[in-house]
Amino acid sequence: MQRIGIFYNPKLFKSIQKLKERIAFLQKNEYIISLLENQKRKGLQGISYVKGFTKENIDLLIVLGGDGTILLASKLVLKENIPLLGFNHGKLGFLSECEKHEFEPVFEQIRKGAYIVEEKMILECTSLSDTKMKYYALNDCVLYKGTYPKMLTFKILDDNEYLFDIEADGIIVSTPTGSTGYNISAGGSIVFPHTDVLLLTPINPHNQFIKPFIFSAEKKLSIQYIKGNEKIYVAIDGENVDTMKKYEQIAIEKSSYTSKFIKLHDKTFAKIVREKFID
């Protein structure tokens, strides 16, 4: 892994100094560094600039930022089979493997091969309206009402078999990775990373006996919007990407793509949960 791409959150790196220090350390250790052309900064030396990260130009993508930055980065290399390594410069940083102060010691572990490449499930979300748009989510797909004051009604189907209707402010369908995101805020369960399931969590359901559902990841869920405002919003990993009108559907299933993440031997999921949510 000598060819390294860097993707950073410019809002957290308004000063170039910290970025220069990271790059200087890597170059000193004979790594070849690439940045995206749209993240070019004056004062950086010995950098290659690329239009996109591919397996032809990098072996590893380092992400400097918070969870939102990692979600963006995962889309950049989803189809390239390139692993990511996140350093948290944000707040919670649950998706980041490392904190920002661990940069240099972590690369000592990388050089020694003290890591594995962990694959994380991706959701494939396909609009069943005329557009047939397709989206990929590392965390979740959320259907929600925006500022509309009343509840929405959704029809839930499993492989085209009708299951039930849900009245709620919205619906979250998440991966195990996304279980610690919006899902947990809405009352969903924390799921260990390698559990092969889809989570469906209503947002403020009208019937308080309606609880989150867990489906096998081999299932294909379809959600039809049947009652409420003229249109609702579709958010993928926290970004609005589409809208849905009444009686339109979206199909959500496990993708054949996975996101690859560098996992260090001393960073277990249980330890991260304790550090981020309990300790």
| Interatomic CA distance for residues 70 and 63, integer angstroms | 6
* Whether 200 contacts 221, CB under 8 Å: yes
Six-digit token string for 248: 């339109």
In 10 A of CB 244, how many CB atoms? 22
Indicate the DSSP class of residue 160. T
Closest-CA residue to 47 (of 30, 59, 56, 34)? 34
Helix 103-112 × helix 17-28 angle, to 10°: 20
Q: Is 150 exposed, middle or buried (0-12, 13-18, 19+ CB in 10 A)?
A: exposed
Q: Active-site residue numbers? A: 67
- Phi-psi category of residue 64: left, alpha or beta, with phi > 0 → left and psi -120 to 50 → alpha: beta
How is residue 271 annotated by DSSP?
A: H
Q: Is there a contact between 104 and 118 (Cβ–Cβ < 8 Å)?
A: no
Please report the sign of the dihedral spanned by the C-alpha atoms of residue 159, residue 160, residue 166, residue 168: positive
